[in-house]
Structure 1
Amino acid sequence: MKIKRFLKYMLFLVLIGCLSFLYSFSSIRNQQKKVTEIIVEFEDGDNNFLTHAMVNKLLIQNQETVQNQAKSVIDLYNLENNVSKNPYVEKAAVFLTVQGVLKSVIKQRTPVARVINKNDSYYIDKEGVKVPLSDNYSARVLLVSGVKDEDDVSEILPLIDTILKDNFLRKEVVGIEKSDANEYQFSVRSGNYKIDFGNLTEVDVKFKKLKAFYNKTFEDETIQIYKTINVKYHNQVVCTK
């Protein structure tokens, strides 16, 4: 019985040794494999700022492309970090497959508005992150002026979000201008008149008044006679011709 137990124990050790050797051998061969291909995938959504070629240029290590380099020398963390630093990238994942393919999965930022100032112009996304203008693509988004700093951007984001979530307002409101008095005026698609919205109090109430006014004046086609439509005041809409 002791001999059988000893033989089983030795067999177990031999199996462990063989498995360890095979794993080590396989691991070494895998690390010696070279990167055979670079694949860039964009997540679903508006993917207009970055091209596959632009991302490939970001996948540089030691001033050289990673293609044909050994898998063992690829620094995935630095490559992913380099791609993530691009202002058009919201998030990125860079990884190697067993077959030696370097794969990058990119989610691009989606602009919700374009801020226009005297000396600068840029997009902002839903989080208020600055996104530079692009030579590849011009996004059709709300135009925002009078916004001077990050605090102004943070203040206006909920207003933009409310407009974009409403089917009618999203099509009708094309521009937002902030005054020095912290009041807002809208430019619209349906005419040359302006909407004086006031400050950002009772936002939902003001939009309800505005849409009710639209329903009436669109029906009798009188809305075009006005220059401004003011919804700042409680329970009333004041218009000027």
Structure 2
Amino acid sequence: MKINWNYIKTGLVIGVVFFLFAFAKNRNNTRVLSEINLEFTNSENLYLTEEAVNKLLIQNEVRVKSIGKETLDLNRVETLLESHPMVENAEVFLSIDGKMGAAITQRKPLGRVMAGAPFYIDRQGDKMPLSEFHSARVPLLTGVGEAHLREVYPLMDFIAKDDFLTRHITQLRRREDGKYELYLRKLDFIVVFGEVKDIELKFKNFKAFYQKALKDKKLDAYEKVDLQFGDQVVCTKK
């Protein structure tokens, strides 16, 4: 009987291809993760370091450099990273060459609350601890405690999103009657903001007053500027 060598060769080639595919897949699955690539979104690695991230993983027995890809629980790593008090969000992924990557978004402070134990209020309106690595240049809040964070948050959020207000406002004080006073950089008059309502209207009126007083060179003539009266800005001279 004549042997058809073409069929045999084709079968061998197919067999070799399947063997190589299975070998590559097994090798990829058992490859040891060799390193961690950390990326801080917007390059804001101010309040957290790579060393702190590695320490957090090691403390929780996530030894990325000594375990295989198939044994790494990415959801667990994300949960661990997001449990860090400086992390707002974390996305963890694996590359095809055996490296773990993590894109970390750090929490962003809007103001520093000068309580018995100082802390920040972040852009979500939540309490955020101070960092040992960086001190944020944000307005100071006095007379404010944890119970007032939801109340003051809309005001802080509005200020943080406005370049003019961010440049000029250095401190907010909550009075015992629940009304707020604002203190400005290089100006010694007090801005009485009042209750946290009509925020946009009050600041629109204040900006108009500021530009007019600046043009007239009268910014130093006042000791108090009150924004509580609708469309009016009531000023008290020195």
TM-score w.r.t. length of structure 2 = 0.83
Provide the residue aligned with 2:4 in structure 1: none
- Secondary structure of the 1:34 match is coil
Partner in structure 2 of residue 232 of structure 1? 228
Change in CA separation of 1:34 and 1:201 when aligned onto 2, cut-off 3 Å: closer
- Partner deviation per Cα, 1:143-169 (whole Å, 9 max, x = no partner): 12222234x212222212222233222
Label 1:67 to 1:213 Cα distance change in 2 as closer, same or farther (>3 A): same
- Deviation at 1:31? 2.4
C-alpha contact (below 8 Å) 1:187/1:194 kept by paired residues = yes
* Whole-angstrom CA distance in 1 between matches of 2:198 and 2:66: 61
| Paired position in structure 1 for 2:183 | 187
2:126–2:149 Cα contact (<8 Å) kept: no
Letter in 2 for 1:47: N
Partner residue of 1:102?
A: 100
Q: Distance in 2 between matches of 1:49 and 1:41?
A: 14
Q: Does 1:158 align with 2:173?
A: no
CA distance in 2, matches of 1:138, 1:62: 28
How far is the alpha carbon of 1:72 from its aligned partner?
A: 3.0
Specify the alignment match of 1:85 in structure 2: 83
Give me the whole-angstrom Cα distance separating, in 2, the residues matched to 1:237 and 1:198. 12
Following superposition, the deviation at residue 97 of structure 1 comes to 2.0
Alignment gaps of 5+ in structure 1: 1-10
Residues 30-80 of structure 1, C-alpha deviation per residue, up to 9 Å, x if partnerless?
Answer: 222111122111111532111122212222276463213222332322222
Alpha-carbon shift at residue 22 of structure 1 (Å): 5.8
1:32–1:71 CA contact under 8 A, matched in 2 = yes
Cα distance in 1 for residues equivalent to 2:91 and 2:137:
28
Q: Give 1:200 shift.
A: 2.4
Question: 1:91-145 CA distances to partner (integer Å, 9 max, x unpaired)?
Answer: 112222221112121111111111111x121112211122210111001012122
Contact 1:112/1:125 (<8 A) preserved? yes
Q: For the Cα contact (< 8 Å) 2:34–2:64, is it kept in 1? A: no
How many residues align? The count is 228
Greater than 6 Å deviation, 4+ residue runs? 17-21
Q: Matched residue of 2:97: which SS?
A: coil
Aligned residues of 1:61 and 1:79 also touching (Cα < 8 A): no
Aligned partners of 1:58 and 1:79 also within 8 Å? no
Matches of 1:55 and 1:47 in 2, distance apart? 11
RMSD over aligned CA atoms reads: 2.6
The letter for the 2-side match of 1:175 is: Q
Whole-angstrom CA distance in 1 between matches of 2:232 and 2:63? 64
Cα distance in 2, alignment partners of residues 222 and 208 from structure 1:
19
The amino acid that maps onto 1:139 is A
Q: Does 1:124 align with 2:121?
A: yes
**Which amino acid is 2:137 matched to?**
R
1:147 and 2:144 are equivalent in the alignment = yes
- Residues in 2 aligned to 1:204 and 1:43: alpha-carbon distance in whole angstroms: 30
Percent identity among equivalent residues? 37
| Structure 2 unaligned blocks of 5 or more | 1-9
